[in-house]
Amino acid sequence: MTRSLNKVLLIGRLGRDPEMRYTPSGRPVTNFSVATSRSWTNHDGERRSETEWFNIVAWGNLAEVCKQYLHKGQQVYIEGRLQTRQWEDSEGNKRTSTEVVAQEMIMLGERSSKGSKESPPPPEEDEFPF
């Protein structure tokens, strides 16, 4: 049997707040977008950059966690797989969408003040005698 692999690892920032809905069977699904950026210097010495946007889909418990804790602008690590879907729009045109189906999510960066307690102030210098 031949081996194959479909794995995506992303670190980026949310482009919008997550949107959660439920399938007819009651299973939660959350959608959001993540932007990754890269910078380079071209052959003329000019500094260039580009941003790539990814549509993320999370299911089940992960969908609920993403909806509850993620927000626009937050840095996040997403691990999952690529999936391509095809459908017909309301005008009968065939459409295709490629998305990342999240299997793991880790919140990165500084803690947000949104919904979290403030961190304690740093200790006084005298507090550590060494």
pLDDT in tens, 66-114: 999 999 999 999 999 999 999 899 999 999 999 999 999 999 987 655 5
Closest residue by Cα to residue 84 from 95, 70, 69, 72: 95
CB-CB contact of 48 with 42 (8 Å): yes
Residue 119: CB partners within 8 Å, gap ≥ 6?
111
Q: Is the pLDDT of residue 41 over 60?
A: yes
Instruction: Report whether 56 contacts 77 (CB < 8 A).
Output: no
Can you name the CATH fold of 8-127? OB fold (Dihydrolipoamide Acetyltransferase, E2P) (2.40.50)
Query: In the chain, what are the domain boundaries?
Result: 8-127
Please classify residue 58 by burial: count the beta carbons closer than 10 Å to its beta carbon, then call 0-12 exposed, 13-18 middle and 19+ buried. buried
List of residues 6+ apart from 48 with CB closer than 8 A: 39, 40, 41, 42
Q: How confident is the model at residue 125 (pLDDT cuts 50, 70, 90)?
A: very low
User: According to the model, what pLDDT value does residue 117 have?
Assistant: 40
